[in-house]
Amino acid sequence: MTTPEIAVTTTNISTTPERELLMPPRSFKDVLRSGVRWESGLVILFLASLVYGWSVTSYFLNMETLFFAGLNFGEIAIMALPMTLIIITGEIDLSVASMLGLSASTLGYLFMHGWNIWAAMAICLMVGILGGALNGFLVTRLGLPSIAVTIGTLTLYRGIALIVLGSNTAVGFPAWTQNLSSPIGNTHIAYDFALFVVLALVFGVVLHMTALGRSIYAIGLQPETAFFSGIRVKRIKFSLYVVSGFLCAFAGILYTFQQASSASDTGVGLELNVVAIALFGGVSIFGGRGTIFGVVVSVAIFASLQSSLTAINISGQAQSIVTGCLLLLSVLVPNAIESMSRLWPRIRSRRPSMEVS
Amino acid sequence: MATTTAGSTFVTKILRFRELAIVVAIVLVFALTYLKNSSFASTASIQQMLSGPSIIIMLAVGETLVIVTRNVDLSVGSVLGLSAYLVGDLFVHYPHMPVAVALLVGLLIGLVCGVVNGAIVAYARVPALVVTLGMLYIIRGIDAIVVNGVQIQPSQIPQSFVNLGSGSLIGIPYLFWIAAVAVAIVGYVMRTFRPARDLYAIGSNPEAAILAGVRVPRRVFSAFAISGALAGLGGALWLAEFATVASTAGSGYELNVVAAVVVGGVAIFGGSGTILGAALGALLLNTIDQALVASRVSSFWNQAVAGILLLVAIAFDRYVSLRAEKILRVEGAHRDNA
């Protein structure tokens, strides 16, 4: 089952001359692969969603809408970046939203108990690193399945958030923190959106242009081969979980400042949104495939659809139908293309023989 | 041959041991809490302990079928919510609908959702996690449109149906009877019949199952259909228990159900685990919740304790399976030498 997968992705990874050596003359399948990537489909879909948004409301493309779209999606988008890398290694982290909640609660608790805001933020980030390290330890050192482990830590971190803050809501953060919920200077860019763009660039460079990035793909494709090629599989996976914990804690701080309050249920259920964004961005749940660019476009599509659907008064819950359909499409369309390309040569080769008979 | 039977009895021993471990944990939690607060053993408290997890048990039974085949069904919470609301809405329009019909309608609504899940996963061959995550959103969205802000109120549900949620037979709540019957039937089928054993074969090695002639798509499809049907039935029971339904009913349940199943010793990557274990896992998690309340520990601790328990259960399973593997390897080596 996995062998064809490897072949597919190595064609993406390796340079063109090598590929021509390895592969037989270009078939219909190859043409499809090189031209029709999932990401190109995403870009088209994004443009279509912009056109749609513009057609339902003429205010769609004004700067304020873009600002709120960025503001609403910033945290989820930031958490989607480390999630992308983790899924590419073939693992998953379902504890992200709980970590965001734990960080927000810790910040609220410490601040209410008279801590300096900067010290409280530092502690939050430490909590994030520790939480990520616990996930990483359980997954890499004890070899436990990450989906089960992170469902466990999802419950655990949310539970600790409850213990820390209980049913209290922390408010009254310093005035400057509220600037984070308004645009940067005179622009119309939300702070978390700007941060997401910077982080996306960093993650993109690391994933696509460094040896570490190549190793991440290699781990997802064949962990054992990666291990025997000298890639420190466990160490890389462990670090990715730590990075994820850190960024989720950071997203928790941002979220708290933007909402100007923190409670223990901050961000409940967001984990599945984060996973959905990564998967829709073309990241394979089996690992080894996916790009940061795809995930960025995926974020853009979700943000743009959300603002246009909200503009025509469709409730957030009803909007989830769109999320669900997009997710189904993200797995069904590539499969349909795949089976089409498999059938096509057969149909073509069958035709002459039928004429002969 | 002798060694293989020795190996398999050893494995069954471990499996039995696994369920025994949960039973011991439940008894221990119960005993410790009783020492602290004797009203924990009162009839009302025990009834609550049985009826509380009943719906999760129903969902866990279906989820086990799916997880055993190395898939996962994340849509159960949404299916439960949709079914609960639609059955409630049916009561609003037809207050004299018999209880059995209501349960059947719930089951059918769930079956439809399960069939869609199963068809996409089994026949379009796409990862179950993505499909059921998509269905989680779609069904919840449909639910929101159907509900449209109008909740089902307790006064709209006939007393006969509410009795199903609160009444009991020889001291044991109806809800628990229903869950127990589901566990007994599905548990027996999973032990005995070939199509059900196929599910284990698929989960432990999908390629080998295909080579052995197992009709993988058909079996996986059935597992999803049954899981959906049980979640739908769970929705009808939810309505009976709470008599009020909003569009958020059952949201977030999917991960609780998976957690219960995993605590119950069902391997998340398929191939092993029992229905009874999954049900006991759900019972244990709920017992701990109530024990914390009864021992006047702040309810804020529930989730953290459940999380730690879950991690311990996963680590324990890993330890047991590593040991079993080692013992089997040693036995295999002896056989080779002989």
Contact A93, A328 (CB under 8 A): no
Chain B residue whose CA is closest to A145? B268
Q: Which of B265, B336, B291, B294 is nearest to B23 (CA)?
A: B265
Q: Which of A301, A284, A321 is nearest to B78 (CA)?
A: A321
Question: What local confidence, expressed as pLDDT, does residue A96 receive?
Answer: 94
Q: Which of A273, A277, A287 is nearest to A146 (CA)?
A: A287
pLDDT greater at residue B118 or residue B317: B118
Q: Looking at the partner chain, which of A153, A285, A315 has a beta carbon nearest the beta carbon of B127?
A: A285
Distance CA A221, CA B258 (A): 26
Put simply, the answer to whether B137 touches A315 (Cβ < 8 Å) is no
Strand ranges, E, within chain A: 170-171, 261-262
Rounded mean pLDDT of chain A? 82
- Contacts of residue A326 in chain B, CB cutoff 8 Å? 134
Strand ranges, E, within A105-231: 170-171
Strand B168-169 relative to strand A261-262, pairing: unpaired
Count of CB atoms situated within 10 Å of the CB of A171: 14
Question: What local confidence, expressed as pLDDT, does residue A54 receive?
Answer: 79
- Two tokens at A220? 């997802």
- Contacts of residue B79 in chain A, CB cutoff 8 Å? none
- Two tokens at B274? 């029992």
Tally C-beta pairs within 8 A across A and B: 151
Chain B residue whose CA is closest to A330? B130
- The phi, psi pair for A317, rounded to 5°, reads -70, -40
**How close, in Å, is residue B190 to chain A by CA atoms?**
23
CB of B129 less than 8 A from some CB of A = yes
Put simply, the answer to whether A268 touches B252 (Cβ < 8 Å) is yes
Put simply, the answer to whether A162 touches B303 (Cβ < 8 Å) is yes
- Contacts of residue B258 in chain A, CB cutoff 8 Å? 151
Distance CA A114, CA A106 (A): 13
Residue B120 pLDDT class (50, 70, 90 cuts)? very high
Mean pLDDT to the nearest integer, B293-315: 81
pLDDT in tens, B66-110: 999 999 999 999 999 999 999 998 888 888 888 899 999 999 999
CB of B151 less than 8 A from some CB of A = no
Contact B162, B240 (CB under 8 A): yes
**How close, in Å, is residue B252 to chain A by CA atoms?**
7
Question: What local confidence, expressed as pLDDT, does residue A355 receive?
Answer: 46
pLDDT in tens, B225-252: 999 999 999 999 999 988 888 878 888 8
Put simply, the answer to whether B140 touches A320 (Cβ < 8 Å) is yes
Report how many domains make up chain B: 1
Question: What local confidence, expressed as pLDDT, does residue B279 receive?
Answer: 94
Distance CA A36, CA A42 (A): 10
pLDDT greater at residue A25 or residue A84: A84
**Residue B93's CATH number:** 1.10.3470
**Predicted complex ipTM:** 0.81
**Best residue of B67, B79, B126, B137 to probe chain A, by most A CBs closer than 10 Å:** B137
Please give the single-letter amino acid code of residue A50. Answer: L
Distance CA A182, CA A345 (A): 56
pTM comes to 0.83
pLDDT in tens, A301-323: 888 888 888 777 777 777 888 88
**Best residue of B79, B133, B266 to probe chain A, by most A CBs closer than 10 Å:** B133
Residue A158 pLDDT class (50, 70, 90 cuts)? very high
Question: What local confidence, expressed as pLDDT, does residue B17 receive?
Answer: 67
Give bridge partners of residue A171 from the DSSP assignment.
A261
Question: What local confidence, expressed as pLDDT, does residue A211 receive?
Answer: 92
Distance CA B166, CA B25 (A): 27
Residue B294 pLDDT class (50, 70, 90 cuts)? confident
CB of B66 less than 8 A from some CB of A = no
- The phi, psi pair for A261, rounded to 5°, reads -160, 160
Give bridge partners of residue B152 from the DSSP assignment.
B245
Mean pLDDT to the nearest integer, A68-90: 87
Half-sphere exposure (Cβ direction) of B235: Cα atoms closer than 13 Å: 39
Least confident span in A29-33, A180-184, A276-280, A306-310: A29-33
Question: What local confidence, expressed as pLDDT, does residue A10 receive?
Answer: 41
**Residue numbers of B between 233 and 272 with CB closer than 8 Å to A:** 247, 251-252, 255, 258-259, 262, 268-269
Residue A28 pLDDT class (50, 70, 90 cuts)? low
Question: What local confidence, expressed as pLDDT, does residue A241 receive?
Answer: 96
**How close, in Å, is residue B303 to chain A by CA atoms?**
4
With 90 as the cut, is the pLDDT of residue B296 above it?
no
- Contacts of residue A279 in chain B, CB cutoff 8 Å? 130, 133
With 70 as the cut, is the pLDDT of residue B27 above it?
yes
Least confident span in A180-184, B150-154, B206-210: A180-184
With 80 as the cut, is the pLDDT of residue A341 above it?
no
- Contacts of residue A268 in chain B, CB cutoff 8 Å? 252
- Contacts of residue A324 in chain B, CB cutoff 8 Å? 133-141
pLDDT greater at residue B11 or residue B181: B181
Chain A residue whose CA is closest to B251? A269
With 50 as the cut, is the pLDDT of residue A25 above it?
no
SS3 state at B173: strand
Least confident span in A136-145, B278-287, B311-320, B321-330: B321-330
- Contacts of residue A339 in chain B, CB cutoff 8 Å? none
Chain B residue whose CA is closest to A148? B268
Chain B residue whose CA is closest to A280? B130
- Two tokens at B338? 């002989």
- Two tokens at B268? 């998340």
- The phi, psi pair for B172, rounded to 5°, reads -110, 130
- Contacts of residue A267 in chain B, CB cutoff 8 Å? none
pLDDT greater at residue B225 or residue A343: B225
Rounded mean pLDDT of chain B? 85
With 50 as the cut, is the pLDDT of residue A21 above it?
no
* Burial of A141: CB neighbours in 10 Å, binned 0-12, 13-18, 19+: exposed
CA end-to-end distance (rounded Å), chain A: 36
Question: What local confidence, expressed as pLDDT, does residue A5 receive?
Answer: 42
Q: Looking at the partner chain, which of A138, A160, A335 has a beta carbon nearest the beta carbon of B124?
A: A335
A25 torsion bin: left (phi>0), alpha (psi -120 to 50), beta (else): beta
Q: Which of A44, A84, A43, A41 is nearest to A337 (CA)?
A: A41
Put simply, the answer to whether A154 touches B307 (Cβ < 8 Å) is yes
With 60 as the cut, is the pLDDT of residue A242 above it?
yes
Question: What local confidence, expressed as pLDDT, does residue B194 receive?
Answer: 87
With 90 as the cut, is the pLDDT of residue A288 above it?
no
Q: Looking at the partner chain, which of A144, A147, A264 has a beta carbon nearest the beta carbon of B318?
A: A144
Distances from the Cα of A52 to the Cαs of A48, A276, A277, in angstroms? 6, 22, 20
- Contacts of residue A272 in chain B, CB cutoff 8 Å? 74, 133, 136
Long-range Cβ pairs for the range A230-238 (8 Å, 24+): A233/A140, A234/A140, A234/A141, A235/A140, A236/A89, A236/A212, A237/A86, A237/A89, A237/A91, A237/A136, A237/A139, A237/A140, A238/A133, A238/A136, A238/A137, A238/A139, A238/A140, A238/A141
**Structural domain boundaries, residue B128:** 2-337
Q: Does domain A60-314+322-335 have CATH number 1.10.3470?
A: yes
Distance CA B190, CA B154 (A): 38
